[in-house]
Structure 1
Amino acid sequence: MVELYWTEEARHCLQEIHAYIAQDNKVAAKNVVKSIQKKARLLRQFPKLGAVYPEVTKREVRIIYYTHYRIAYLVVNEQRIDIIGIFHGAMELRKYLR
């Protein structure tokens, strides 16, 4: 099975998402973060589940969705996937995924 590696940036994204939602509802914040993590775990069985993000040409960045969040990742090899960030749908991805 493929190993998921959460980059420092991806962990920071989760913390930011949690902090933002927790301002209004701590339980919801925890549930959203857990659900994003659960969605990402699907990649362990289906590494190419996400669509290729065509704006990045130097590496094959893929995207999967959880509600209005985009989970960006790289298939490093057959044993490893790097989660590189979680982005709200309103964010301009090109700015972050160079």
Structure 2
Amino acid sequence: MARIVWTIQAVEDLENIFDYISKDSLKYAQIQIIRIQSIVKILKKQPRSGRVVPEIGNEKIRELILGNYRIIYRLPSEKTVEILTIHHSSRLLALD
């Protein structure tokens, strides 16, 4: 079973998503965060379940799609999944 590590950027992204959605609905903001956290848990058992990020083309950089969000992660080893960012699909992905 792989270990999930959240980068500072990914945690900030999660907080920003919550803050933005909660301006309209605190309940929906909570639901969305739970959905994101739940889909990430799948990676513990199936770290390669996401697709390779098309803009990058590296087998170790993958993503899960959840609604309008791209949960981008890296596989530094077979036992570790590093959540890099949670990116809204309407924005361009910065490759820096």
TM-score computed with the length of structure 2 as normaliser:
0.92
1:91 is paired with a residue whose SS is: coil
Residue 68 of structure 1 and its aligned partner are, at CA, apart by 1.0
Number of aligned residue pairs: give it: 96
| Residue equivalent to 2:6 | 6
- Deviating 4+ runs (over 3 angstroms): none
RMSD of aligned residue pairs (Cα, Å): 1.4
SS at match of 1:87: strand
How far the C-alpha of 1:57 sits from its partner, in A, is: 5.4
Normalising by structure 1, report the TM-score: 0.91
CA–CA distance in structure 1, aligned partners of residues 57 and 36 of structure 2? 26
Tell me, in whole angstroms, the C-alpha distance in 1 between the residues paired with 2:11 and 2:65: 17
Matched-pair identity in %:
30
1:37: which partner in 2?
37
Q: Which runs of 5+ in 1 are unaligned?
A: none
Give the aligned partner of residue 62 of structure 1: 62
Residue number in structure 2 paired with 1:90: 90
Unaligned runs of 5+ in 2: none
